[in-house]
Amino acid sequence: MRHFLLLFFLAPSILFAQKKSDSLFNASLDEVVVTATRTPRTMGNLAIPVSLINAKMLYQSGSLRLNDILAEQTGLMITDNFGKGIQMQGLSSEYTLILLDGEPLIGRTGGVLDLSRITIRNIKKIEIIKGPSSSLYGSEAMGGVINIITDRAGQNKTDASLRYARFGTIDGAVNFSRKYNQTDIQIAANYNRSEGYSLKPFAIQKTVEPFWKSSQQFNLNQRITERWKTGLGLRLNNTYIDNSIAVQNLGSTIISKGFEKNDEFNVTPYVQYQVDKKIKSVLRGYITGFNALQKLDVKDAYGAYNDQFKQLFARVEQQTDIHPTQQSTLTLGAGIIREQVSSNRYDSLSTVRNNQIAYLFAQHEHAFNSKLVVIGGARFDANKAYASVLSPKISFQYKINSYWSFNASYGRGFKAPDFRQLYLNFTNLAAGAYSVFGTEVAEAEIKRMTDAKLLEQTTDVFSKLSILKPETSGGLNVGIKYNHPQKLNVGLNIFRNDLSNMIVTDVIAFKRNGGQIYSYFNLKRAVTQGAEINLSKQLNKAFNLQGGYQYLYTADKDVLDAIRLGSVFQRDQSTNMVTRMKWVDYGGLPFRSKHSANLKIYYENATGVFATARAMYRGRWGTMDLDGNGLINRADEYAQGYFQLNASAGYQLNKYFKLMAGVDNIFNYKDILNLPGNPGRVGYVDLQINF
Amino acid sequence: MKKSNVFAFVLLSAVFFYACTKDDNATGTSTLTSNVVKDLVADTIVGLVNGQPVGVGKFTFYSLENNAVVPSTDSNSTKWDIAFRGTTIITNAGTSGPGAGGAFVYTGTFDELKTVPTDSTFKKDNAPTSYAITSGSNKGWYVYDPVNNLITPIPGRVLVIKTAKGNFAKVEIMNYYKGGSTPAPSASDDIKLKTQRFYTFRFVHQANGTASFQ
């Protein structure tokens, strides 16, 4: 423990200088992760399921954006609605917290944080924590946490890379870092563009429209004295997408030209004070903003379409790590968050909606002996705009012997109602004249419409409209791991997440013109459970084999109750005959694959040649109801399962140049309807220069 | 059958009749008939008005007593029991006709409904604000999917009908598209518009005035 503390002192330079990350072992026991406990821990000493993707794997896999590499990980699915979202342990994108160097990214659309916004050209590693982690991170950390850690190398290094890929895709990146006596700085820039593609050859509107994305990042760390350290991070991230929307209105096509623009900034100052060998304290500030603008010059009666969304998130947080004894670590933290949002979807741009959160968290980790480690913690979030939440978590690890270890954890997670659920005031004139009102504005809007005699009637659920509560979950993870250093690594994790108070829309009233009015309710209960197996085997000096499989079962609990009661029916596609639905007929929550797997081979020799082949399988997943019961049950309601094979190879020409080429989706698998984000086979060449 | 106009003729000629199969129930009574009606046209789409698909706006009237289409000239009589126009289904009572009819939507399977529950309330149409068989998506017998533009009968919905004469029948809508086959979600809008409003339904009619369907 003392040795560890010493390491801790000199962090991050020593930690990052470790050569351990050269190994492709997914869970090499010595690799350090910070996300699981908010303190640096080696992979071998973790009581909760964590996976790690290191820089080498990121490079050799030929990934450019965050979604590229996550799509190749066991148990993670990329969804394609409002951008590239992530599904973890069967929980959808809105329930996974995405951190950049430990700070949460904002700017979600429909709950989805678009992972393709994030370049991985300057990423050192990605840590993936599965299971509820709200006890440390608060809202959104229900399914898990993905922490993207940028390369703050603390060394003198300059590199540049250039990629050309199909569809006019160009990606250029420059990373620069310098280490001076007490100062280290890092500058990273990335530009990514593509001409997009069409899956339907003669369509006016491309499936993916031309876009560009750019990112600039600057980090500074300054050691003031032995004990004091400070730093600042700045990041700018911009995306621009061309938009030509062709609206088919029964024969007549209306083409509208426009664009979509997202601008994001992050500012992260910190001060760190090492009180003594036992106590370290960090004060962190964080301000991030996300502005989305969508403009369309619509050539019809509705005129120009202008949609704006502005979000600001500011946080001050203090975290103190105390080591009262060699066997224990106490982590204490507190913070204040202010969030504000304005959008012309919520009244007007000039109306700023805000929320304030004050929170406290504490975690105690104790090693009872060399075999047993127990971690207990909790976080309390007091919110202004909705009910407060307490999120506890307990986990332990037991090392059976030097090869086998067992761990289990139970935690509570939550997701705060988001601003749209509270304040949305949206009427779609084009499609059926429906309206959606957030819970905080619904009553006033209904009254206004009643007075204006625009309403036909309110529904029964209208009377149930109330203050939204956060969505909550309880997550259990039980795992067993076998590790034979540098030879074989096998891990099994069994999980179950029970979700309650899930927010769904329901009809609160009917308009006289036939349109429906929706609002939000804490109604749904769901379960996701399954098992994940991961394997990593060093076949010989050159070959490393990795594989993984996830079995996933998901269900809406109310549907399960209804099936038990016999009040759910289904219709056969060919005979049109109706039967009572049985438990086995129910396909669970949509967009979930029961089976998913991957198998990857990495080759590398001493002369600087590497090659990879990565096969991913995703079993069928439910996409839509076709027999009128609102559920996934019939075979034609599923998207077909598929294999995708990606391969890459590269060569280190000399000290300066690294060359790589690869092909993603070699078998050119496409599913126009269900996988619009999959363009088919994509080849690329990539040059990296190290100065 | 007197044909008042060419359109009615087209409507009627598009109707296929399938042989009645008498139920061979144990008691040997012949008051119970069980039928499947296929591709009953219900105001099929003839064009677009303001971008919205429209038919000519006429109901197709059907007699469950006789298992036959009733000409629209007899709409103001007690010769018909149920009528179809797009997704709207009416029964011969209230504002819809002079009969002693009515209906309600029962939740369960067609075969399991062996008798009309004693506490049943038969509603009468009060057009255009309310119908015995509630109109609208997910309110009565069908659900409309705005993404795929498809109309699907909700499984487990049985229309319990009181005929114009006051006898009982149960009706299950099986499909809304031509040939009893819903187009694939990926089918063109043109196909979806041209093949819709063709009802496939089955019914059991009890002629003896009792509430029993067995």
Model pLDDT for residues A248-261, shown as the tens digit of each residue: 655 567 777 889 99
User: What whole-number distance in Å separates Cα of residue A502 and Cα of residue A522?
Assistant: 5
Query: Mean per-residue pLDDT for A516-539?
Result: 94
Tell me: pLDDT of A298 over 90: no
Residue A1 in this model has a pLDDT that exceeds 60: no
Closest CB from B107, B153, B185 relative to A624: B185
Most A-contacting residue of B182, B191, B202 (CB-CB within 10 A), to test interface: B182
Q: Which domains does chain A have, with CATH numbers?
A: 2-690 (2.40.170.20)
Testing the interface with B: which of A81, A571, A573, A625 to mutate, by most B Cβ within 10 A?
A571
Which residue range is the domain that position B131 belongs to?
6-206
Does any domain span residue B150?
Answer: yes
Tell me if B155 and A628 make a contact (CB, 8 A cut-off): yes
- Per-residue pLDDT at A393: 95
Q: Is B133 within the bounds of a domain?
A: yes
Structure tokens at A555: 């269900």
Domain annotation covers residue B23: yes
Of A567, A626, A629, the CB nearest to B154: A629
B209 touches chain A (CB under 8 A): no
B191 — contact with chain A (CB < 8 Å)? Answer: no
CB contact under 8 A, B154 and A579: no
**Strand pairing class (B32-41; B196-206):** antiparallel
Distance from CA of A508 to the nearest CA of B (A): 14
Tally of domains in chain B:
1
A87 at the B interface (CB within 8 A)?
Answer: no
Does residue B27 form part of some domain? Answer: yes
- What pLDDT, on the 0 to 100 scale, is given for residue A15? 34
- pLDDT (mean) for B166-194: 94
Number of H helices, E strands in chain B: 2, 14
Closest among A557, A418, A531 to A95, alpha carbons compared: A418
- Of the given ranges (A66-75, A354-363, A415-424, A592-601), which has the lowest mean pLDDT? A415-424
- Percentage helix, strand, coil, to 5, in chain B? 10, 35, 55
Give pLDDT tens digits for B87-116: 999 999 999 999 999 999 999 999 999 999
Cα–Cα distance, A140 to A417 (Å, whole number): 10
**pLDDT confidence of residue A456:** 82
- Chain mean position to CA A587: 24
CB contact under 8 A, B155 and A569: yes
Average pLDDT over residues B155-177: 96
A264, A289 Cβ separation under 8 angstroms: yes
When comparing pLDDT for A30 and A149, which is higher?
A149
A513 to chain B, any CB pair closer than 8 A? The answer is no
Given its phi and psi angles, is residue B27 left (phi above 0), alpha (psi -120 to 50 degrees) or beta? Answer: alpha
pLDDT of residue A16: 35
- ipTM field: 0.84
Q: What is the DSSP letter of B182?
A: P
Asked if pLDDT for residue A633 goes beyond 90, the answer is yes
Mean pLDDT of chain B: 86
Residue A194 has pLDDT above 90, yes or no: yes
A429, pLDDT greater than 70: no
Q: Are B143 and A628 within 8 A, CB to CB?
A: yes
| Predicted pLDDT of residue A645 | 97
Q: Is residue B211 part of a domain?
A: no
Confidence label for A247 from pLDDT (cuts 50, 70 and 90): low
Report the C-alpha gap between A403 and A480 in whole angstroms.
11
Averaged confidence pLDDT in chain A: 89
What percent of chain A is predicted at pLDDT more than 90?
68
Check CB contact under 8 Å for A624 and B172: no
Q: Is the pLDDT of residue B3 over 70?
A: no
Asked if A547 contacts A598 with a C-beta cutoff of 8 angstroms, the reply is yes
Mutation site for A-interface testing, chosen from B45, B174, B175, B203 by largest number of A Cβ within 10 Å:
B174
Contact criterion met (CB below 8 Å) for B58 and B29: no
**Is position B69 within any domain?**
yes
The helix/strand/coil state of A656 is coil
Determine whether the interchain pair A250/B153 forms a contact, defined as Cβ–Cβ distance below 8 Å. Answer: no
- Indicate yes or no: CB of B189 within 8 angstroms of CB of A248: yes
User: What are the helix and strand counts (H, E) for chain A?
Assistant: 8, 38
Predicted pLDDT of residue A174: 95
Strand, helix or coil at A511?
strand
User: What gap in Å lies between CA A236 and CA A265, rounded to an integer?
Assistant: 5
Q: How far apart are CA A74 and CA A617, in angstroms?
A: 10
Q: Is residue B147 part of a domain?
A: yes
Considering the domain boundaries, does residue B214 fall inside one?
no
